[in-house]
């Protein structure tokens, strides 16, 4: 098994392969996102974290349509929604699966590194968040109900 998120890459929302090693030395908050979810307003708080800690904390959004078909749009629709509705500037990636046979390798790593409640690895819903320290190690997993404002209070210890 790989030891760090820096050993993975993913295609950004424009289809460009991004090696996550480009984020070495930064704290990452990796989130599976969706445009039509009850938790979608968390985009606002995630963007606030990204703006407030510019250069130190990077939010990485991974659209996913596996929960209630709440991210049915294509890349262009997702980009437009995020930009126009929440003025999202943090990096967005191509739509991926986070569970199942076609789960993205990054998410397989994240789930194994920080299992959820009672040791279950599967992602339960949109806006599950993983906090990664400056060394690329997964240090915490947050539930969809954990608000970005609450996570912000914990970020200082990782900067």
Q: For 3-33, how does the pLDDT look when each residue is reduced to its tens digit (9 = 90+)?
A: 899 999 999 999 999 999 999 999 999 999 9
Catalytic: which of 30, 37, 59, 60? 37
- Tell me, yes or no, if 82 is annotated catalytic: no
Cα separation, 81 vs 66, in Å, equals 18
Q: What is the CATH number of the domain that holds 57?
A: 3.40.30.10
Compute the C-alpha angle 108/54/18, nearest 5°.
40
Residues 88-145: tens digit of each pLDDT: 999 999 999 999 999 999 999 999 999 887 777 899 999 999 999 999 999 999 999 9
For residue 139, report the phi and psi dihedrals to the nearest 5 degrees. Answer: -105, -20
> How many structural domains is the chain composed of?
1
Q: Which residues contact 144 (CB under 8 A, 6 or more apart)?
A: 39, 124, 125, 126, 127, 128
Whole-angstrom Cα distance, residue 11 to residue 39? 24
Q: Is the pTM value of this prediction over 0.85?
A: yes
Q: If residue 27 lies in a helix (H) or strand (E), which one and from where to where?
A: strand 27-33
Residue 73 has pLDDT above 70, yes or no: yes
Range of the domain at 39: 5-158
User: Is 102 buried (19+), middle (13-18) or exposed (0-12) by CB count in 10 A?
Assistant: exposed
């Amino acid at each position: 098994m790989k030891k760090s998120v820096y050993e993975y890459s993913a295609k950004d929302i424009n289809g460009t392969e991004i090696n996550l090693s480009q984020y070495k030395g930064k704290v990452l908050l990796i989130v599976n996102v969706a445009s039509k979810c009850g938790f979608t307003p968390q985009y606002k708080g995630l963007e606030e974290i990204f703006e407030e800690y510019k250069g130190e904390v990077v939010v990485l959004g991974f659209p996913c349509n596996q929960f209630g078909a709440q991210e049915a749009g294509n890349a262009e629709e997702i980009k437009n929604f995020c930009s126009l509705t929440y003025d999202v500037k943090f990096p967005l990636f191509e739509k991926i699966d986070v569970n199942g046979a076609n789960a993205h390798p990054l998410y397989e790593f994240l789930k194994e590194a920080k299992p959820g409640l009672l040791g279950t690895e599967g992602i339960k819903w949109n806006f599950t968040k993983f906090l990664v320290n400056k060394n690329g190690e997964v240090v915490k997993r947050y539930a969809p109900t954990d608000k970005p404002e609450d996570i912000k209070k914990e970020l200082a210890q990782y900067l």
